[in-house]
């Protein structure tokens, strides 16, 4: 506040000097400054360093006051430029750190960042979905921006205890949140706090210690992935069913080309072409129209593998299928939704 008081005082003195020049110079017939308006014009030209030369003091007193005005102009101009530069730099710094937030909706959120999180994020971005990161390190923020410099990606630096940060990344409007911390204990503590504040948010976590999986489930986490369990199953499959394991690994990787295949899920809604169709009709239609294979459904939150042929899918059910990367955009048009939940 004192800073602005000093600035206002300087402006008052500056205007007083302009007024003084106008009064002194108007008393001289040889002067081209005939009043306050001319003096103000002279001051503005001097302040902006334009220097037209059409107005200038001729009296000794006017010249003395003008000297003060010129020196003061340097200070005022320097202060204004400095303030504008500081404000601009502050704005750009806030923009860089995501301070202004994002308007993303129906997006995915990753909290925490490491190499594993980078791989997860790459798969999500490849599907065309919007993704928001929240990290508590500027170093990690820079790493994210180096890799995910896309319009559908947003990254924010903030303290994890800052509730405003979750509003700025639209956490409650996201589809799912992935907690990506290095230690299981950090993840568990964070989960307890997060679910307390946002009980309706879908949270996905990974745990290195498979024995903690039940603990996470009891904490209200529906999707808990044990890294060791998944890895051990895949390794075991490679040992005695290598081709099956290779195929499985491909199916859980986002497809991008005609020769890439992956498993996808699409939501049934009233505007899609498969609303209130039987599973067999959907199976045959997908194979004929898109060379895609329906392998299961999700109904009322329950996954049904190889459902009955006459099972009718209604609004908010999901179809799980296998398709290549090229067919995705056509499938999204047919279902009327993007891939994913």
Give residue-wise pLDDT tens across range 94-129: 888 999 999 999 999 999 999 999 999 998 888 888
Domain ranges of the chain: 2-96, 108-231, 257-335
Compute CA 289 distance to the chain's CA centroid, rounded to the nearest angstrom.
Answer: 36
Residue 254 has pLDDT above 70, yes or no: yes
What would the mean pLDDT of 170-189 be, rounded to a whole number? Answer: 91
CA angle 5, 10, 14 (to 5 degrees): 150
Would the pTM of this model clear 0.75, i.e. be above it?
Answer: no
Provide the pLDDT for residue 54: 67
Nearest Cα neighbor of 292 from 258, 249, 268, 269 is: 258
Provide the pLDDT for residue 240: 79
d(CA 141, CA 298): 36
Strands 318-324 vs 302-305: parallel, antiparallel or unpaired: unpaired
d(CA 280, CA 175): 29
Q: pLDDT tens across 44-63, in order?
A: 777 676 766 667 677 888 78
The mean pLDDT value of the chain amounts to 86
Q: Is 292 exposed, middle or buried (0-12, 13-18, 19+ CB in 10 A)?
A: buried
Q: Which residue has the higher pLDDT, 157 or 247?
A: 157
| Domain covering 257-335, topology | Alpha-Beta Plaits (3.30.70)
Residue 32 has pLDDT above 80, yes or no: no
What would the mean pLDDT of 240-267 be, rounded to a whole number? Answer: 85
Q: Is 124 exposed, middle or buried (0-12, 13-18, 19+ CB in 10 A)?
A: buried
User: Which residues of the chain form beta strands (DSSP E)?
Assistant: 108-111, 131-135, 153-157, 176-179, 203-207, 223-226, 261-267, 293-299, 302-305, 318-324
User: Hey, how many other C-beta atoms are within 10 angstroms of the C-beta on 119?
Assistant: 9
What would the mean pLDDT of 66-86 be, rounded to a whole number? Answer: 78
Provide the pLDDT for residue 172: 93
Q: pLDDT tens across 289-336, in order?
A: 999 999 999 999 899 999 999 999 999 999 999 998 888 889 999 999
CATH classification number, 108-231, choose in 3.40.50.2300, 3.40.50.2000, 3.40.50.720, 3.40.50.1360: 3.40.50.720
Provide the pLDDT for residue 49: 66
Q: Which residue has the higher pLDDT, 107 or 77?
A: 107
| Domain covering 2-96, topology | Helix Hairpins (1.10.287)
Sheet holding 261-267: strands in order across?
Answer: 261-267, 318-324, 293-299, 302-305
Provide the pLDDT for residue 5: 72
Contacts of 173 (CB under 8 A, 6+ apart): 104, 105, 106, 107
What would the mean pLDDT of 221-244 be, rounded to a whole number? Answer: 83
Provide the pLDDT for residue 31: 79
């Amino acid at each position: 506040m004192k800073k602005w008081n000093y600035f206002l005082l300087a402006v008052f003195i500056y205007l007083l000097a302009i007024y003084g020049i106008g009064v002194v110079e108007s008393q001289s017939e040889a002067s081209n400054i005939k009043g306050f308006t001319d003096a103000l014009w002279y001051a503005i030209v001097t302040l902006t360093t334009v220097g037209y030369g059409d107005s200038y003091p001729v009296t000794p007193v006017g010249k003395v006051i003008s000297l003060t005005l010129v020196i003061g102009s340097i200070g005022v101009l320097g202060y204004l430029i400095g303030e504008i530069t500081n404000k601009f730099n502050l704005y750009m710094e806030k923009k860089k750190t995501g301070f202004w937030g994002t308007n993303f909706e129906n997006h995915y959120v990753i909290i925490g960042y490491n190499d594993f999180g980078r791989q997860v994020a790459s798969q999500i971005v490849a599907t065309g979905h919007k993704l928001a990161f929240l990290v508590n390190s500027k170093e990690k923020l820079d790493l994210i921006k180096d890799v995910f410099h896309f319009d559908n990606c947003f990254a924010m630096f903030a303290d994890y205890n800052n509730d405003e940060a979750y509003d700025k990344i639209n956490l409650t409007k996201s589809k799912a949140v992935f907690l990506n911390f290095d230690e299981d204990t950090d993840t568990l503590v964070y989960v307890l706090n997060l679910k307390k504040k946002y009980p309706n948010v879908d949270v996905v976590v990974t745990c290195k210690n498979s024995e903690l999986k039940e603990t996470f489930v009891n904490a209200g986490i529906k999707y808990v992935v044990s890294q060791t369990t998944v890895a051990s199953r895949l390794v075991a499959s490679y040992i005695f069913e290598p081709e099956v394991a290779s195929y499985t690994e491909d199916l859980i990787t986002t497809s991008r080309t005609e020769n890439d295949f992956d498993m996808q899920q699409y939501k049934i809604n009233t505007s899609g072409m498969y609303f209130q169709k039987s599973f067999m009709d959907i199976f045959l239609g997908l194979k004929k129209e898109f060379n895609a294979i329906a392998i299961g459904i999700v109904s009322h939150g329950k996954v049904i593998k190889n459902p009955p042929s006459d099972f009718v899918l209604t609004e908010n059910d999901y179809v799980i299928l296998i398709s290549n990367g090229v067919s995705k955009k056509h499938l999204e048009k047919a279902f009327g939704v993007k891939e994913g939940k």
